[in-house]
């Protein structure tokens, strides 16, 4: 036997707003005054109005947190990427990049391509530019340690402090970027939980309306934002992530 389902068995608020946070915000914004007006004329709506007021306030706070997280991650990513790019950036025509300056210091102390130089920079300057950002950070920290071991060459030990400071700053920016990504993921997860909670209360509101307006069912439509529930999905905002 074929199983049939009715339109009443689906929570359209839940399905319509899936992956569409802005739509849920619009629905709540338009539904609140409708339900407030209905509650003013019929006490039967009071309880669900209280529930919807609570979920709408939580939703609004969640939107603020999500917007902040979405703006923070690209900023942190840009800061970290710019720091790493600055390793090879020449400030002006007369000034060498940090990486070039470091290589020049090493070459002024030990023979170019000699054993010490090769130990410090096995692949030359490419040693600090190969691989992923994480691998580049690891290579930079290791490079600083190798420099610090060159106690027979005070200039290289001094350079180790400069290199270490650069990569410590880069690591701090990387950590901030990762923390921003975690915060964004958490904000999205929390808002999804709020979306479900809001959809459940909205669905309950329709049920209360059907119970109260059973003799005049068309009045149920005065509670529902039909034009929003029937709206086609729009593309979501893209957020730059690591």
C-alpha angle 168-87-98 in degrees, rounded to nearest 5: 95
**The residue to which tokens 């004329």 are assigned:** 41
Domain boundary among 179, 209, 237: 179
Select from 35, 41, 66, 67 the least CA-distant residue to 53: 35
Residue 104 lies in a domain: yes
Please, what is the angle between helix 133-148 and helix 46-85, to 10°? 50
Write down the pTM of the prediction.
0.83
Q: Do 172 and 98 have their domain in common?
A: yes
Q: Do 64 and 23 have their domain in common?
A: yes
pLDDT in tens, the chain (242 residues): 456 565 667 899 999 999 999 999 999 999 999 999 999 999 999 999 999 999 999 999 999 999 999 999 999 999 999 999 999 999 888 899 999 999 999 999 999 989 999 999 999 999 999 999 999 999 999 999 999 999 999 999 999 999 999 999 999 999 999 999 999 999 999 999 999 999 999 999 999 999 999 999 999 999 998 889 886 655 555 544 55
Residue 101 lies in a domain: yes
160: domain range? 93-179
Q: Do 139 and 198 have their domain in common?
A: no
Residue 87 lies in a domain: no
Domain count, the chain: 2
Q: Do 168 and 136 have their domain in common?
A: yes
Q: Do 76 and 190 have their domain in common?
A: yes
């Amino acid at each position: 036997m074929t199983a049939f389902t009715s339109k009443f068995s689906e929570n359209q608020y839940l399905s319509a707003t899936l992956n569409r946070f802005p739509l849920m915000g619009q629905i709540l914004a338009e539904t609140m005054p409708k339900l407030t007006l209905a509650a003013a004329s019929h006490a039967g709506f009071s309880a669900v109005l209280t529930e919807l007021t609570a979920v709408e306030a939580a939703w609004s706070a969640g939107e603020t947190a999500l917007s902040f997280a979405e703006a923070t991650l690209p900023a942190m990513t840009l800061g970290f990427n710019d720091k790493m790019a600055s390793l090879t950036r020449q400030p002006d025509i007369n000034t060498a990049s940090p990486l070039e300056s470091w290589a020049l210091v090493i070459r002024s102390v030990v023979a170019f391509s000699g054993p010490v130089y090769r130990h410090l920079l096995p692949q030359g300057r490419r040693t600090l530019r190969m691989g992923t950002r994480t691998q580049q950070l690891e290579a930079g920290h290791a490079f600083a340690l190798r420099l610090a071991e060159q106690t027979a060459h005070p200039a290289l030990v001094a350079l180790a402090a400069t290199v270490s400071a650069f990569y410590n700053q880069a690591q701090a920016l990387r950590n901030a970027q990762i923390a921003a990504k975690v915060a964004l993921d958490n904000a999205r997860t929390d808002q999804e939980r709020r979306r479900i909670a809001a959809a459940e209360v909205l669905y309950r509101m329709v049920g209360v309306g059907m119970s109260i307006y059973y003799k005049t069912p068309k009045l149920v439509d005065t509670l529902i934002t039909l034009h929003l529930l029937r709206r086609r999905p729009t593309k979501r905002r893209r957020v730059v992530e690591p």
